[in-house]
Structure 1
């Protein structure tokens, strides 16, 4: 075995061990939360380290979580925000990317400069707050979580880069056959970049699903709160009282003894409930994700 073979062998083993460590770092916290959410609350309170197994299997924590009307309402609100903002965002992203990918676009490079500029510089939170509340009149409106954040400059650049890579001869031949821009976009361009579109859809869904800061600033009606803002109140502020009592004063006495016992378990259960849809959704587009990312990485 020559020196080069030994070096490569050591490098591959080092890489393998490194990525095993990364995988464990990512998986162990998830496993800890899942095991704790299904375990007996009194046993969980006595644990100080990583929880490796389920002890005293129970669904009491999940039962308490779904008694909270804010959790259920937040779930429905989040699905609405994610679906609407992603659909609108993809429409705007695709239309803008196609227009800016055309060589004949008027002032295309100048527009791209200003779009890229917004990724690095902005007017700040105060200016943004004034524009949304005074200019757009969206304070305490559901649309404040959709319209101002429906387009990501980064995602638009990824889609534009993929469109620029499509052979111009396909576009020209379609034009010779009398196809307009909408026909070219939806019949030729988009079918050739499914991997990129799947990647961008995932980016938008994850971003909107995890969003809570926008809602915490502009929303006051609890009936409009997304799930992540409810989760933030439970995990960061430690406000699990409404979860334990089911959001009803009538049930407060029935669950008064559970407030301390199930406080930690409810937090774990809430994390599982809020992340489960993403875990279910991701495998369906995983096969497109790597290809879509590589397109932006190579040609960006």
Structure 2
């Protein structure tokens, strides 16, 4: 650092400045939603909330936690995320490990067939008809089974198994009498905690934020995930703003809807925001595995 030239110092300062500006641009919307969630709705709508909350109000959070449908949606989302991520992880490992083995006959052809599905699919209507014929409409499984595996994540795991775990270790386990399943459970998985953490993050975030499949396959509001209720609130808020706020009752509904909207965004994203910092280093590693390795 002491041997840096003036040009290097200027370049470093410019890079740090640019990164600081980007961080502010990226983080400010989240910070604004946070302070707006416990500011008075009328001050938010008048544009008076910028850097700190004004006229502290908890009406948004009060409305949320007094709404049984939202609480039910929150619990449903947790259930769908836990069950879906577990199934995703098991099936991804079951697909990626054989494809990573050099002694697996026909793995090249199978890999081509798996990758083929990334570029071509049957479409929305055939998918809906298939879910209907399987009797999964209006059930939890309609949100989990159709997306039980991700080809992209399978390829990332396969690459990690190939490049991150020496094949000689698996051969040694086989010589010692360990079966393929035993090698996977006793050797491969304990050494694959980084990629497993990445997969948990990928899949859990996907399930937590998903709403489109629920919109297509569910008609029982008791089974709605949280994101579907959030979508309804956002649409209702937009419709109320389009109608106008000529009378006091409508104006009050619009303001309450604005408060609920910001509070619900915070409540809906809080688990992911809490989880991400602990898995960030694994997240970056997983992205690099998929981007750098073949």
Same fold per TM (> 0.5)?
Answer: yes
CA distance in 1, matches of 2:96, 2:283: 19
CA distance in 2, matches of 1:280, 1:240: 33
1:188 is aligned to 187
Query: Aligned pair count?
Result: 282
CA distance in 2, matches of 1:107, 1:21: 51
CA distance in 2, matches of 1:105, 1:239: 55
Post-superposition Cα deviations, 1:21-54, rounded to whole Å, max 9, x if no partner, equal 2211211001111111111222222117x62111
1:144 CA drift (Å): 0.4
1:173 CA drift (Å): 0.5
Q: Indicate whether 1:154 and 2:152 are aligned.
A: yes
The answer to whether the 8 Å contact 2:233/2:257 transfers is no
Provide the TM-score with structure 2 as the length reference: 0.90
2:286 is aligned to 292
CA distance in 1, matches of 2:239, 2:53: 23
Post-superposition Cα deviations, 1:252-290, rounded to whole Å, max 9, x if no partner, equal xxx988423322111101111111111111122223222
RMSD: 2.1
Aligned partner of residue 273 in structure 2, secondary structure: helix
Aligned partner of residue 288 in structure 1, secondary structure: helix
Provide the TM-score with structure 1 as the length reference: 0.88
Unaligned runs of 5+ in 2: 241-248
Distance 1:56 1:124, change over 3 A: same
The answer to whether the 8 Å contact 1:233/1:239 transfers is no
2:214 is aligned to 215
Aligned partner of residue 145 in structure 2, secondary structure: coil
CA distance in 2, matches of 1:148, 1:19: 40
1:272 is aligned to 266
> Which moved further from structure 2: 278-287 or 266-275?
278-287
The answer to whether the 8 Å contact 1:161/1:299 transfers is yes
Q: Where does 1:1-300 land on structure 2 (aligned, <5 Å)?
A: 5-47=5-47, 51-134=50-133, 136-165=134-163, 166-238=165-237, 258-300=252-294
